[in-house]
């Protein structure tokens, strides 16, 4: 069993670096140092950031079940960090859309958010993640007490909206969004199952 202290000291910094890697790879690829961004760099940046946002979201949701199954308490140390990385990647995904894809052209941005359902739900997911980020500090947690858990249960809605947003955006080949759907379903069913077990104790 790894103590929380050792995990904090020795695992947190490298995990932080690993989580930032996909972001830095976008820059090194943009300058063709590590790879490249292809013929449509804006689409590539947007897709990569969105994909990493989804991956971090699912990783965040994996922490609690993993801790419960393995009994490794220290895992919880990484939940907030992964959650904040989720928000970071999704926010960058949103900024890429706003600045590079739409060139801050307000009429197109509002039209898309209002009339394109897949953008509407993606935007909703972003707002939820924003709320979770703001209330993620220890101070907020103490201040909100019981309400904090209620608010942070919204992460389940956000994850459904986010995966749905991806599914809806794909032209025809749904293989990749399907992978996310399967993982998310497992993570959510696990929680429902635990709840059911507790109720029938």
- Cβ-based nearer residue to other proteins, 33 or 73: 33
DSSP annotation string for 137-169: SHHHHHHHTHHHHHHHTHHHHHHHHHHHHHHHH
H helices, E strands: number in the chain: 10, 0
Closest of 32, 13, 79, 25 to residue 52, by C-alpha: 25
As a whole number of angstroms, the longest Cα–Cα distance in the chain is 59
Our CB check for other proteins shows the closer of 108 and 194 to be 108
Cβ distance to other proteins smaller for residue 150 or 172 = 172
Quote the distance between the C-alpha of residue 16 and its chain's center.
15
The answer to the question of residue 167 lying near other proteins (CB under 8 A) is no
- Applying the rule CB under 8 A, the residues between 173 and 192 that interact with other proteins are 173
Instruction: Give residues 69-108 in contact with other proteins (rule: CB under 8 A).
Output: 100-103, 105, 108
Site for other proteins in 116-155 (CB under 8 A): 116-118
Question: Which of residues 68 and 111 has its CB atom nearest to other proteins in the complex?
Answer: 111
Among 6, 34, 110, 189, binds other proteins (CB under 8 A): 34
Q: How far is CA 42 from CA 22, 45, 177, in A?
A: 16, 5, 20
Q: Could you tell me which stretch among 8-16, 143-151, 163-171, 189-197 binds other proteins (CB under 8 A)? A: 163-171
**21 near other proteins (CB under 8 A):** no
- Of 11 and 100, the one with the shorter C-beta distance to other proteins is 100
Judged on CB neighbours under 10 Å (0-12, 13-18, 19+), 50 is: buried
Residue 66 CA to residue 201 CA, distance in Å, equals 22
Give the nearer residue to other proteins in terms of CB position, either 112 or 133: 112
38 belongs to the binding site for other proteins (CB under 8 A) = yes
Binding region for other proteins (CB under 8 A) out of 3-11, 15-23, 38-46, 131-139: 38-46
Half-sphere exposure of 52 (CA within 13 A, CB side): 25
- For residue 26, count other CB atoms closer than 10 A to its CB: 19
Write out the residues near other proteins by the rule CB under 8 A.
Answer: 30, 32, 34-36, 38-43, 45, 100-103, 105, 108, 111-112, 116-118, 168-169, 171-173
């Amino acid at each position: 069993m790894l103590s929380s202290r050792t995990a904090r000291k020795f695992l947190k910094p490298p995990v932080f670096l690993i989580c930032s890697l996909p972001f830095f790879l976008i820059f090194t690829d943009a300058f063709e140092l590590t790879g490249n961004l292809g013929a449509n760099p804006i689409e590539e940046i947007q897709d990569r950031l969105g994909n990493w946002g989804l991956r971090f979201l699912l990783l965040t949701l994996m922490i609690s079940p993993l801790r419960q199954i393995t009994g490794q308490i220290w895992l919880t140390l990484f939940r907030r960090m992964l959650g904040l990385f989720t928000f970071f990647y999704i926010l960058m995904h949103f900024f890429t859309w706003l600045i590079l894809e739409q060139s801050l052209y307000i009429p197109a941005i509002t039209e898309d958010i209002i009339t394109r359902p897949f953008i509407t739900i993606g935007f909703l997911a972003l707002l939820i993640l924003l709320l979770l980020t703001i209330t993620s500090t220890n101070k907020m947690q103490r201040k909100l007490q019981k309400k904090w858990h209620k608010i942070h249960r919204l992460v389940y809605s956000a994850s459904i909206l986010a995966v749905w947003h991806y599914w809806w955006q794909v032209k025809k080949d749904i293989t990749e969004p399907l992978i996310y759907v399967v993982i998310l379903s497992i993570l959510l069913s696990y929680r429902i199952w635990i709840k059911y077990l507790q109720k029938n104790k």
